Each structure stands twice: as structure tokens, then as C-alpha cells.
Amino acid sequence: MNEIDRREFLRRMMILGFSASAATLLARCGAAQSPTAPPTAVPTSAPTASLPATPTAGPTPATAQPPTPAPAVGDAYLAVARGESPAALVQAAIRAIGGIERFVKPGADVLIKPNICVAYHGPEYAATTNPEVVGALVALCLGAGARRVRVMDNPFGGTPEAAYARSGIADAVKAAGGQMEVMSEMKYATVPIPQGKDLKQIRIYRDAVDADVFINVPIAKDHGLARLTLGMKNLLGVIWDRPAMHRNMGQRIAELTSLVRPTLTVVDAVRILLANGPTGGSLADVKQTNTVIASADIVAADAYATSLFGLTPADVSYIPAAAKMGLGTMDLAGVRVEEIHV
């Protein structure tokens, strides 16, 4: 009796094993026949330093991110939009720096990284990126023909699901046709940082490096160590071990930026958090500034955002560190900044 059961068990396991391998083979064939659309690299003389090849530890072939295309003549290097409607600010700022088509080609796989650091408060507390800003970006990308637009962050306080919901971003993204993704452990890989001096390698969410388009959407707010959390600081959400970044923070954040190189950075300063950041929780610390900053240059975007707090780029350690590494410019006098009132 027992033996027959065992034999039967083994027989079934073999059938299962064969079907699984057959399925894998089929999947491989399928993948070979329909390669994902390669990112359309546009030759450019972008002011940002040329992107290093991004090797990945896993067997996934490293897909080199296309360098951000240069602005056409007449486009602003950095745009600052001010006005009442967050969505209109996003549209205006991106139009000014060349339009979303400059960054998102038809068929592109787009990743949007807002700051959804905690599940504690609604957007009025300015601890998380404004949902209307994120929603408008999703709509723009899909309008430009993106294959899919995923939005994600890895909150340090509360579950991702709760944080996505509380921030209002889940609803806004869904309404705009995008999808929220919970960042699974399986998608982290340890990759070398070619320009890294302090950090030689880092465990990072693969898609942050591999996606065709990576749009970084920080909210500008107070931070105890970095003074401000802006675009580059927001990239801490895509790495595995955040506490490790708190030593020699400015340099380490700059080195992380050299690896991720967002296609586009949109700083949400509709509301900014002046104290008790990054978590917030008191409306007394929130200031309504009705501003959105956009640039392909993350360093420039962060540099401009410091002015909203009455600071200079040099006050926020990772900005000079990144400028020194050639990741962008913090000298805004040397580039074309367009200010728009919407």
C-alpha cells in the first residue's frame, strides 16, 4: 500500500517536473521571439556625465540606460512652475524642458519613484509626494505611449500597501492608468558602483537601474542629517540597506545617484515640510509653496529646491558631492532656468 503510494507520488512528481521544464523552455522561446522593445538611445551631448555601463550581479543582461536626451534649442534646462493646480504645474514644467516625449518614447517601461516614506499621514502633511503631481506624471507618460507606468516606494514606517493608500498616491495612480508595485525582495540585486569610492557596490532594486525611464518625484522637506531630503536623497528608497547610508551621507548619496541616474527629476514643492521631517505630522510645519521643479539634471533640480528653504546648494551635503562627481550642475547661473506662472 505504502509503496504504491510512493511510486505514484514519484510518477506525479516526474510529470510535474517535465511539464515545468517544458514550460520554462517554451517561455525561453517566447522571450526570444518577442524581445522587449530596446530603449531608444538618442545620441546626445547632455550636460550630465556619460552613464557608466550598469553591470548587474544576476544573469540578467545589463540594459544600459539611454542617456537623457539633450534639450532641443529653446528648451529650458530647468523649469520652475508656480500656481494653484499641481497637475497643471507638472504639465507646464515638463513642457518647458522639452515635453514628456523628450524622455518617454512609445513602448517605454516607465518607473516613477515618489517619496512615500511612511504610512502615517495624508498628503496635506507634506511627508509624502503630492498625489496629483504623481498622477499627472503617470498620465503624461501614458499619453506619450509608455508601455506601462509603475509607481513604487519602500516606506520605512508602515506597510507599502498602507502607505500607498494613505498618501493618496494609490488612488491617483490608478485613476491615471498606472500601477502601484510593491517592491519585492526578489527584485533586489547587488551591483557594483563604477564611480563609487566610499561605496563599491550596493544592493538595489533592479528595475531602478534597468527600467527604460526612471522618473524621480521627491517632495522637498526637512531632514535631520541631510538638512533637506530632495531628489538624490529620495533615491534611498530603491536600495536595501538604508541605515548604512547615514555614515558619510553626502558622498554616499552622490555615489548612489551615479548608479541610478534618473531620466527626469520632478521636485514636488506644492507643500514643503520645514521641520520634524522626514516623517512630519504637524500642519504647523507645512508651508504651501505651490511650486514644481523639473529637470533632467537631478543636481540642478535639488540645487534650485534649496532656495525654497532659504538655503544654498552648498548647505545640503550631497549636492556639492554630486556636482563634484560630475553628475550635474549646482551652479544655476550657468544654465537656462525658466520660471512659469500657471
Partner 1 sequence: MTPQSWRRIRQAVQILAALLFAYLLLGTRQGLPTFLPHDLFFRLDPLVGAAAMLASRRWIPALALGLATIALAVVTGRAWCGWLCPLGAVLDWMCPRKPAAQDDPRGNWRTAKHALLLVILSAALLGNLTLLILDPLTILFRTMTAAVLPAVNALLIAAESALYAIGPLQRPLEWADGILRGAGLVGGEPAFQQGIVLALLFGAIVALNAVRPRFWCRYLCPLGALLGLVSKVALVRHRVDADTCIACGKCARACPTGTIDPARGYAADPAECTLCLDCAAVCPTNAVGFHGHLVPAAWRDYDPSRRQALLALGAAVAGVGLLRAAPAARRESPWLIRPPGARENGLLDKCVRCGECMKVCPTSGLQPSLFAAGLEGLWTPVLVPRLGYCDYSCHSCGQACPTGAIPLLSLDDKRRAVLGVAYIDENRCIPWADGVDCIVCEEMCPVPEKAIQLDVQTVTRPDGTVAEVRRPRVVRERCIGCGICEYKCPLNGEAAIRVRAA
Q: Which of 85, 276, 289, 290 binds partner 1 (CB under 8 A)?
A: 276
Rounded CA-CA distance 276/73 in Å is 42
Contact status: 24 vs partner 1 (CB under 8 A): yes
For residues 178 to 217, the per-residue mask of contacts with partner 1, x marking binding by CB under 8 A and - elsewhere, is ----x-xxxx------------------------------
Per-residue cell: 206: 533592479
Cβ atoms of 254 and 322 within 8 Å: the answer is yes
Distance of closest approach, residue 281 Cβ to partner 1, in angstroms: 3
Among 30, 43, 74, 310, binds partner 1 (CB under 8 A): 30
Per-residue interface string for the shown chain with partner 1, residues 289-318, x marking contact by CB under 8 A: ------------------------------
Rounded least distance, CB 28 to partner 1, Å: 5
Residues 280/286, Cβ–Cβ less than 8 Å: yes
Q: What backbone phi and psi angles, to 5 degrees, belong to 272? A: -120, 155
Assess 148 for contact with partner 1 (CB under 8 A).
no
Which class for 195: exposed (0-12), middle (13-18), buried (19 or more C-beta within 10 A)? middle
Residue 211 or 264: the one with the smaller Cβ distance to partner 1 is 211
Cβ atoms < 10 Å from Cβ of 183: 18
Segment near partner 1 (CB under 8 A); pick from 24-32, 94-102, 105-113, 169-177: 24-32
Of positions 223, 290, 337, 342, contacts partner 1 by CB under 8 A: 223
**Residue 63 sits in the site that holds partner 1 (CB under 8 A):** no
By CB under 8 A, residue 240 contacts partner 1: no
Task: Count the site residues for partner 1 by CB under 8 A.
Answer: 40
In terms of DSSP H, where are the helices of 34-157? 86-96, 131-143
Binds partner 1 (CB under 8 A): choice among 44, 281, 289, 326: 281
Question: CA gyration radius for the chain?
Answer: 21
Query: Counting contacts by CB under 8 A, is residue 10 touching partner 1?
Result: no
Collapsing DSSP to helix, strand or coil, 267 comes out as strand
Got the DSSP string for 278-316?
A: TT---GGGEEEEEEEEEES-HHHHHHHHHGGGT--GGGS
Distance CA 99, CA 37 (A): 22
Angle between helical axes of 131-143 and 169-176 (0-180°, round to 10): 20
Contacts of 299 (CB under 8 A, 6+ apart): 232, 257, 319, 322, 323, 327, 328, 329, 330
- Region near partner 1 per CB under 8 A, out of 22-30, 85-93, 253-261, 289-297: 22-30
- 221 vs 261, beta carbon nearer partner 1: 221
Residues 73-112 that bind partner 1 (CB under 8 A): none
Residue pair 45/69 in contact (Cβ under 8 Å)? The answer is: no
Among 95, 102, 113, 166, binds partner 1 (CB under 8 A): 166
Positions touching partner 1 (CB under 8 A) are: 24, 27-28, 30-31, 58-61, 118-120, 156-159, 161-163, 166, 182, 184-187, 223-225, 243-244, 246-247, 249, 276, 278-282, 285
